[in-house]
Structure 1
Amino acid sequence: MNTVPILMYHNVERAPKGVGLRGLYVTPGRFRRQMQLLKWLGYRGISQAEAVPYLRGEASGKVVVITFDDGYRDNLEHALPVLCDCGFRATCHVVSDAIGAYNRWDAEQLGARKAVMSAAELRQWVAAGMEVGAHSRSHARLPELDEDALYAEVQGSRAALEDLLGRAVTSFCYPYGAAGERERALVRELGFASAVSVRRARARPGDDLWNLPRVAVGGHHGPQVFPLQILTAHEDRHQ
């Protein structure tokens, strides 16, 4: 069965000295080489929304889904030009209450304030043909919330983004990948077409659209790991 790898990135930037979780950073040069490799291999880079027909088995082709978590400005500065050069599209999952601010949820833990795109920058991202997905309002751990707070985080993030961008937001990403049956059911009931987790594997047609696995692309990996993640069962064995 064909796989539909869903790549997970965070920062496309050189990791600052002493920062925590350096694996969240991929340098701009490495990101460019990864995208160029995918294009050379014959893959078409698509957004999460565009992937749904492939994951339902309604379409086929050599595609890879490109996602970025949190909405960092370096995605616009360093990733967008590469994506455009390759003719790829991608999805940036945005923490709506952090627009124009920074990563309040883990700045202290990581020892770094990372700038999140402003409203104007998000519009620039969309104008270039990219997708914006919802990633909650505050990057809360959704299973820890009561029903009202959970609804506010999920639906509130979508409402804010749709109001800002003037278009439907149909893709969701669980903060920290944390989601049980209750959280997945709400995302589905609210009408999101798909949702991604941090569960490691290449997605396949027929997978649960509201619990999709991803391939975490880390700056701490050697350059030989990326093609293994895409082309082999390297990630699938972690299911």
Structure 2
Amino acid sequence: MPVPILVYHQIAIPPARRAPFRSMAVHPHAFRRQMRLLKRIGFQGLSLREALPYVNGRKTGKVVAITFDDSYANVHENALPVLRECGFTATNFVVANQIGGRNEWDLPLGVAPSPCMDLAQLRDWIAAGNEVGSHTMDHARLPELSTEAAWNQIFLSRMTLEDTIQCEVSAFCFPYGDQLPVHRDLAVEAGYSVATTTSRRRAMKLDDPFGLPRLTIRRNDTWLHFLRKCLVG
């Protein structure tokens, strides 16, 4: 059974119209409605680590994987309580050099500064049963880097996160979905178990575990569009 892997960015009141990437901010009320809807129709929301056996066919069930890119502090504030309320878990892909920092990679594009989770918030996230994954050291576009520099972004981020949070980090997310076959190979070599892209469909048993597709949830998704993504992909 195909498994929807959802990806969110910010869970916050969207910025003013015409702001860059406004669609990436999902209103907290909308996020709560979406999670409650999933629970009402019988889905169990899981971290990527917990959802993998369903993706590869070792388990069966009505599950959806929930992921967040960039580790925004507003995810801790606005999404974590909802996940707890619903009994769901999720994966948070962290930019290792921005723990307690902000979205530096977005600022040249005109995106407003937004803080990232600090160490205390990450520990709270983990204590609630959620997963932390890596999103490189600096939210780098890997195809623009040398192989050595890409390796440093992929491998050192895992080491840095594990040293910082004192937990295993086994999931990786390619920033912007940008990757080449060599980058998948580097993720394998770096010791990850799985990596995600931005291909827009549900994950299936025969998918490369280092190229899993995800479905982006956006500000203007209606409840019907949201359900369609989960049920059809």
- Residue 144 of structure 1 and its aligned partner are, at CA, apart by 1.2
Could you tell me whether the CA contact under 8 Å between 2:12 and 2:28 is conserved in 1?
Answer: yes
Gaps of 5+ in 2: none
What TM-score do you get using the length of structure 2 for normalisation? 0.97
2: distance between equivalents of 1:28 and 1:145? 36
- Residue 119 of structure 1 and its aligned partner are, at CA, apart by 1.1
Could you tell me whether the CA contact under 8 Å between 1:52 and 1:193 is conserved in 2?
Answer: no
Matched residue SS, 2:138: coil
Q: Partner of 1:82 in structure 2?
A: 82
2: distance between equivalents of 1:222 and 1:16? 18
1:16-42 C-alpha deviation (Å, 9 max, x unpaired): 224211110100000000000100111
After the TM superposition, list the runs of 4 or more consecutive aligned residues in structure 1 that deviate by more than 6 angstroms. none
Gaps of 5+ in 1: none
- Residue 222 of structure 1 and its aligned partner are, at CA, apart by 2.9
User: CA RMSD of the aligned region, Å?
Assistant: 1.0
Sequence identity percentage: 44
2: distance between equivalents of 1:29 and 1:121? 21
1: distance between equivalents of 2:39 and 2:10? 21
Alignment coverage as a number of residue pairs: 232
Q: Superposed, which structure 2 residues align to 1:222-233 within 5 Å? A: 222-232=222-232
Q: Superposed, which structure 2 residues align to 1:160-175 within 5 Å? A: 160-175=160-175
- Residue 108 of structure 1 and its aligned partner are, at CA, apart by 3.0
Q: Superposed, which structure 2 residues align to 1:170-189 within 5 Å? A: 170-189=170-189
Q: Partner of 1:14 in structure 2?
A: 13
1: distance between equivalents of 2:216 and 2:201? 9
Which residue identity is paired with 1:7? Answer: L
Q: Partner of 1:136 in structure 2?
A: 136
1:186-235 C-alpha deviation (Å, 9 max, x unpaired): 10122211111011001112211000000110002233210111112xx3
1:54-76 C-alpha deviation (Å, 9 max, x unpaired): 22211111110000000000110
Q: Partner of 1:68 in structure 2?
A: 68
Q: Partner of 1:34 in structure 2?
A: 34
Could you tell me whether the CA contact under 8 Å between 1:195 and 1:209 is conserved in 2?
Answer: yes
1:76-102 C-alpha deviation (Å, 9 max, x unpaired): 000000000000000000001011111
Could you tell me whether the CA contact under 8 Å between 2:174 and 2:196 is conserved in 1?
Answer: yes
Could you tell me whether the CA contact under 8 Å between 1:36 and 1:86 is conserved in 2?
Answer: yes
Q: Partner of 1:113 in structure 2?
A: 113
Is 1:200–2:200 an aligned residue pair? Answer: yes
- Residue 50 of structure 1 and its aligned partner are, at CA, apart by 1.1
- Residue 113 of structure 1 and its aligned partner are, at CA, apart by 0.2
2: distance between equivalents of 1:64 and 1:231? 10
- Residue 7 of structure 1 and its aligned partner are, at CA, apart by 0.1
Matched residue SS, 2:197: strand
Bigger shift: 181-190 or 169-178? 181-190
